[in-house]
Structure 1
Amino acid sequence: MSPTRRRKFLSHELRSIDGEIEHIRLAIERELSEEQTAPVLTIAYWRQRLLNLLTGRSLLAHQRDTIFGLLKRIEQYDDI
């Protein structure tokens, strides 16, 4: 793979990860909101999605920090 093509691939992957992190963040906020009476998916599901992002990928520091922040946010909740 040429260096230019590799940079484009990595750039696309990093944007994709940003989008996935944002999606999970919004979902967690919705699940933990007081307005939500019955969760659509469990906190354990979202925790696993975050942990999956941490493994096997090259993440930027701000992406790791955001993931760890979301994990910290949900650790106070039991599986609902």
Structure 2
Amino acid sequence: MDQIPNTHSGSAQATLIDRDIAHIARVMRTSLRGDLAGPILPPAYWRKRLHQLLDTGSLSHAQLCTVDSLLLQLDQYEAEPQKAWDTLAPATAALFPPPFADSNRQL
């Protein structure tokens, strides 16, 4: 999302910023977790979005604290090595033995 324009009144701009922060807080972690191909959106994207909010210069104390918390989460994500797929526990081929696997078994 582009930087929030300053054409809105103070309360309207604060509401837009609140919504943007809430959206980022909701989806950032899921996006970073991603799928087999990696993160859906990289940490650099989220960092840019958060810095754009900081650049508006009109964040309340609570908004600043939330943005700071989200930036710290990004720092933590980047500092911790991500699990490689080869270190994950292997999937089992079958949870239960196939029926009639024992040929000596009488019914």
Under a length normalisation based on structure 2, what TM-score does the superposition of the two structures give?
A: 0.58
Larger radius of gyration: 2
Report how many aligned residue pairs link the two structures: 70
Q: Distance in 2 between matches of 1:56 and 1:46?
A: 16
CA RMSD of aligned residues (A): 1.9
Q: How does 1:26-65 map to 2 (within 5 A)?
A: 26-33=26-33, 36-37=34-35, 38-65=38-65
- What are the ranges of 5 or more consecutive residues in structure 2 without an aligned counterpart? 1-7, 83-107
Aligned to 1:72: 72
Moved over 2 A (4+): none
Per the TM alignment, residue 22 of structure 1 is displaced from its structure 2 partner at its CA by: 0.7
CA contact (8 A) 2:32 2:42 kept: no
- What are the ranges of 5 or more consecutive residues in structure 1 without an aligned counterpart? 1-7
Residue type of the partner of 1:72? L
Residue type of the partner of 2:58? S
Per the TM alignment, residue 52 of structure 1 is displaced from its structure 2 partner at its CA by: 1.0
What fraction of aligned residue pairs are identical, expressed as a percent? 36
CA contact (8 A) 2:18 2:63 kept: yes
Higher relative contact order (CA 8 A, sep 6+): 1
Instruction: Provide the secondary structure at the position in 2 that maps to 1:76.
Output: helix
Aligned to 2:101: none
Q: Distance in 2 between matches of 1:16 and 1:32?
A: 24
